[in-house]
């Protein structure tokens, strides 16, 4: 499912989208096998109807819930941030601005490497510290794309700061300088904080 364009900021573009690997459903698969085994053992013996109902409800709650979380997980790398979303009834998620990411790594054990799945670990300079996105496909590839997007974001913002410094050159009115600042912000070359700071300087 493509990330909705109306959720992107002006000038922001989608770099890469990825979900969770099918290996994330291993727990649900094992529980389903156990459920089938219980049915084979209990049904021929005329098991109590309540026991069958309870077992079935527990199986549905675990497997359907797990499947829906897997199906709705949405990870998106944009030109400005990393977006993580999951859930239908109780949707949850978070955004990480690319400029606060300080390090990106990935982890795989032997089995995960064989099936092409792993975890990505993201260190940030903010209060969140470390974030882990688990059971993603091709984690090394995703890591490389995130690092590249962060590098591009850093270069873009550096150019934006240089442009913002040039805005305050003599000969331009406050209105002209504010217009240029607005364009730099819309193009993603200035963060909200940088834009507000430069704006306050111009307005005194």
Q: How far apart are CA 72 and CA 58, in angstroms?
A: 21
Closest alpha carbon to 141 in 8, 15, 12: 15
The stretch 49-59 carries a mean pLDDT of 80
pLDDT score for 5: 81
pLDDT score for 2: 72
Per-residue pLDDT band at 57 (split at 50, 70, 90): confident
pLDDT score for 172: 65
pLDDT score for 163: 57
Which tokens in the block code for residue 167? 């805005």
pLDDT above 70 as % of the chain: 77
Q: How far apart are CA 194 and CA 157, in angstroms?
A: 10
The stretch 182-204 carries a mean pLDDT of 70
Q: What pLDDT digit, counting tens, does each position of 152-162 carry?
A: 988 877 766 65
Q: What pLDDT digit, counting tens, does each position of 162-179 carry?
A: 555 555 555 667 677 677
Q: What pLDDT digit, counting tens, does each position of 84-142 carry?
A: 988 766 777 889 999 899 999 999 999 999 999 999 999 998 656 789 999 999 999 99
* Terminal-to-terminal C-alpha distance of the chain: 46
pLDDT score for 160: 60
The stretch 25-32 carries a mean pLDDT of 89
Q: How many CA atoms lie within 13 A of 194 on its CB side?
A: 19
Q: What share of the chain is helix, strand, coil (3-state, %, to 5)?
A: 55, 20, 20
Within the chain, residue ranges assigned H as helices are 26-42, 49-72, 110-115, 139-167, 174-186, 192-203
The stretch 178-200 carries a mean pLDDT of 71
Does residue 78 carry a pLDDT above 90? Answer: yes
């Amino acid at each position: 499912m493509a990330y909705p364009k109306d959720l992107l900021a002006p000038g922001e573009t989608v770099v890469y989208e990825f979900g969770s690997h099918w290996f994330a459903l291993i727990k649900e698969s094992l529980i389903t096998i156990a459920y089938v085994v219980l049915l084979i053992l209990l049904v021929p013996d005329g098991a109590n109807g309540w026991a069958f109902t309870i077992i079935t409800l527990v199986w549905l709650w675990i497997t359907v819930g797990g499947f829906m979380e897997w199906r709705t997980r949405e990870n998106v790398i944009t030109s400005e941030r990393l977006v993580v979303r999951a859930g239908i009834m109780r949707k949850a998620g978070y955004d990480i601005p690319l400029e606060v990411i300080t390090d990106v790594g990935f982890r795989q054990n032997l089995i995960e490497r064989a099936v092409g799945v792993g975890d990505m670990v993201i260190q940030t300079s903010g209060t969140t510290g470390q974030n882990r996105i688990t059971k993603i496909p091709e984690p090394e590839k995703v890591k490389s794309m995130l690092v590249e997007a962060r590098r591009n974001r850093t270069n873009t913002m550096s150019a934006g700061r240089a442009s913002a410094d040039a805005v305050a050159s003599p000969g331009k009115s406050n209105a002209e300088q504010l217009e240029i600042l607005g364009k730099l912000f819309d193009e993603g070359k200035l963060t909200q904080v940088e834009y507000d700071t430069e704006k306050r300087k111009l307005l005194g």
